[in-house]
Structure 1
């Protein structure tokens, strides 16, 4: 039950930061952004002390460790894959355009007899 109260307080603090942004409409933008950041920081600080917050922190650490194990593609592999995707998109665009124009011709010119002027 205490975790739920802490989590609700964290949400209230987060909302307070966002509300502060709008209440400080006449102030400099830096103060408005700092209000939001203060709300986020206070919210994270309160959520940190909840059991779900601790589990999230452990999960984030494990995710970072798994990210370090990934073998990322080289620049050459990335460029080749990007080129293949781009070529596929162009081919599909041309195919869909031809299909659209063919169906337009079949329906409007042959079946309905509507000639475009």
Structure 2
């Protein structure tokens, strides 16, 4: 059974746009290294132009547009989250630290008990 949430790039224009976007990003990196003798801002501009152009071309394709819609929906959902107050976050953190401390003590007691049983009671070591 196919997963309906998986998106595939079917049209040749989308494939061409995504390939062009990747090539522009690669061209930006190639330009950055090819201009190795130039000033840092010239090299940085070549890299920035290539990466920005590649991302823009990629976002103009159908998968890019669906990614933008997904990002907008995700942002709307994050805004709906009710974040804990400072007091609630502090109390929850203290409960977690207390539980970790209690478990550490319990595990230490179990470890020492097993060590005593094996080394002292069974093997007779001191």
Normalised by the length of structure 1, the TM-score is 0.69
Question: Match for 2:104 among 93, 107, 110?
Answer: 93
Query: Deviation digits for residues 11-41 of structure 1, max 9, x if unmatched?
Result: 4554566677778889988888777655543
Question: Which secondary structure state, in structure 2, belongs to the residue aligned with residue 70 of structure 1?
Answer: coil
Q: Supply the distance in 2 between the matched residues of 1:69 and 1:49 (Cα, whole angstroms).
A: 28
Q: What's 1:49 paired with?
A: 60
Q: Supply the distance in 2 between the matched residues of 1:50 and 1:75 (Cα, whole angstroms).
A: 43
RMSD: 3.3
Question: Which secondary structure state, in structure 1, belongs to the residue aligned with residue 83 of structure 2?
Answer: coil
Q: What's 2:91 paired with?
A: 80
Unaligned runs of 5+ in 1: none
Shift of residue 10, structure 1, vs aligned partner: 3.4
Q: Supply the distance in 2 between the matched residues of 1:106 and 1:77 (Cα, whole angstroms).
A: 43
Matched length: 115
1:66 and 2:77 matched: yes
Shift of residue 78, structure 1, vs aligned partner: 0.8
Q: Supply the distance in 2 between the matched residues of 1:28 and 1:113 (Cα, whole angstroms).
A: 75
More moved, 4-13 vs 15-24: 15-24
Report the structure number with the largest CA radius of gyration.
2
Shift of residue 85, structure 1, vs aligned partner: 0.8
